[in-house]
Amino acid sequence: MAGEHGRHAVKLGYPSRTHAHTALAPAREAHILQQLGRTGTHWGEWALGTWSVQPWHAGDSLWHLWESHRAGEEPRRDIDADALRCARVLADLHAAGWVHGDVQPLHFLLSAHETRLIDLGLAHGGDVPQAYDFPHRGCLVPYESPEISRSVLDSGTAVPTRASDVFGLGASLFMSATGLRAIDFPPDAEREEQRRVIAQGRHRDVGIPGRLGRVIEAMLSPEPGGRPTAEEVCAALRY
């Protein structure tokens, strides 16, 4: 939406076929953005749920920017530098006391001048009004860590952590670079079966050369304690 105050993103929440909490997500995210000091964010309620308005962030997603790399064409970008930018915004979010909870390639927006990690509707860390809060029931499955998938299978909910965010970053970088899921499962498998495969924690051979491949390997560790922090990922990609 474009107006006299610039471009804005409008989100309209309503219950989906599988998740009632999608009706609350826009207001929940707006409260989180306000706690992070993001100005120009507004929210409200309508008949089927909540809505929010927030400033539009220009840029292309990590997935889109690495298309030529996946296609085997001459890379047009420094993917190590892009990966560092993504790790940096995740590390900054963690330093602010928040966990994203839904890290995936489409949520990293890169432009010439800034990098943004968007869609914080599932984030955890600060206070969220009870009227707009809801349990974490997992995220986009190919980017779930093994411990998140196990918890969702066992109880229907999970608690995202910095370590699960780091796994999501590793899986996002791997998928964006190769076009393959970090943990392979049949594409036509039901979501529960996908999670059962992920819960085993056996990821593909990374096969990406150099420091990026080494750090992705570390981020995909099946054990949360075996993964680097987002700040450590930044350090590994910087030198």
pLDDT tens, 50-89?
999 998 888 999 999 999 989 888 777 899 999 999 999 9
- Residue 5: the pLDDT is 55
- Residue 77: the pLDDT is 86
Same domain for 122 and 31, yes or no, is no
Same domain for 222 and 133, yes or no, is yes
> In angstroms, rounded to a whole number, what is the distance separating the alpha carbons of residues 239 and 235?
7
> In angstroms, rounded to a whole number, what is the distance separating the alpha carbons of residues 55 and 203?
37
Same domain for 35 and 138, yes or no, is no
Where is 148: in which H helix or E strand? helix 146-155
Same domain for 100 and 49, yes or no, is no
Which phi and psi angles does 225 have, rounded to 5°? -70, -15
SS3 of residue 8 by DSSP: strand
Token pair listed for 5: 């105050």
- Residue 65: the pLDDT is 96
Q: Which residue has the tokens 């076009």?
A: 179
The answer to whether the beta carbons of residues 110 and 130 sit under 8 Å apart is: no
CATH of the domain at 176: 1.10.510.10
Helix (DSSP H) and strand (DSSP E) numbers for the chain: 9, 7
- Residue 16: the pLDDT is 80
**Of 22, 41, 56, which marks where a domain is finished?**
56
Domain that holds residue 177: 58-238
**Of 56, 86, 102, which marks where a domain is finished?**
56
Same domain for 89 and 126, yes or no, is yes
CA 125 to each of CA 63, 97, 159: distance values in angstroms, whole numbers, following the listed order: 27, 6, 11
Same domain for 44 and 96, yes or no, is no
Where is 177: in which H helix or E strand? helix 162-178
Structurally, how many domains does the chain consist of?
A: 2
Same domain for 89 and 138, yes or no, is yes
Same domain for 205 and 111, yes or no, is yes
Q: What is the mean pLDDT, run by run of 10 residues, along the chain of 239 residues? A: 64 80 92 92 92 89 94 85 98 98 98 95 94 94 98 98 98 97 92 96 95 97 98 94
Same domain for 98 and 150, yes or no, is yes
Q: How many CB atoms lie within 10 A of CB 164?
A: 27
Same domain for 122 and 178, yes or no, is yes
**Of 34, 56, 78, which marks where a domain is finished?**
56
Same domain for 35 and 109, yes or no, is no
Same domain for 50 and 110, yes or no, is no
> In angstroms, rounded to a whole number, what is the distance separating the alpha carbons of residues 10 and 163?
31
